[in-house]
């Protein structure tokens, strides 16, 4: 959730920055557009990096959770077999 807020904040910042840049640009329109395009690409690259990091973190957590689930399943299965063996032993 924190990463999503960061991404949305970054997008809002880019939008505001572009608007301010267009309003107060002291240079020719073509130069301003080139600078804005370059900055926009930098922001986009940064946002993509943040998204990639977020996805990588989510994947790592999912892998860890899946391993934990598999471990619990194996332990439960083993314990079930033990209890079944105990029950059979007591019924003899």
pLDDT, one tens digit per residue, over 15-70 is: 787 777 767 767 777 887 788 788 888 888 888 888 888 899 999 999 999 999 99
b/e sequence 34-70, b meaning 16+ C-beta within 10 Å:
eebeeeeeebeeebeeeeeeeeeeeeeeeeeeeeeee
* pLDDT at residue 59 in the model: 93
pLDDT in tens, 69-92: 999 999 999 999 999 999 988 887
Largest CA distance in the chain: 96
Phi, psi of 27, deg, nearest 5: -105, 175
**How far is it, in rounded angstroms, from Cα 13 to Cα 38?**
15
pLDDT score for 1: 58
User: pTM of the prediction?
Assistant: 0.52
- Residue identified by tokens 């999912």 is 62
């Amino acid at each position: 959730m924190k990463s999503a807020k960061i991404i949305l904040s970054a997008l809002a910042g880019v939008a505001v920055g572009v608007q301010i840049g267009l309003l107060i640009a002291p240079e020719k329109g073509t130069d301003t557009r080139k600078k804005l395009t370059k900055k926009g690409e930098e922001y986009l690259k940064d946002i993509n990096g943040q998204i990639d990091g977020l996805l990588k973190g989510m994947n790592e957590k999912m892998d860890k959770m899946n391993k934990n689930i598999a471990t619990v399943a194996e332990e439960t299965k083993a314990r079930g077999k033990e209890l079944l063996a105990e029950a059979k032993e007591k019924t003899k």
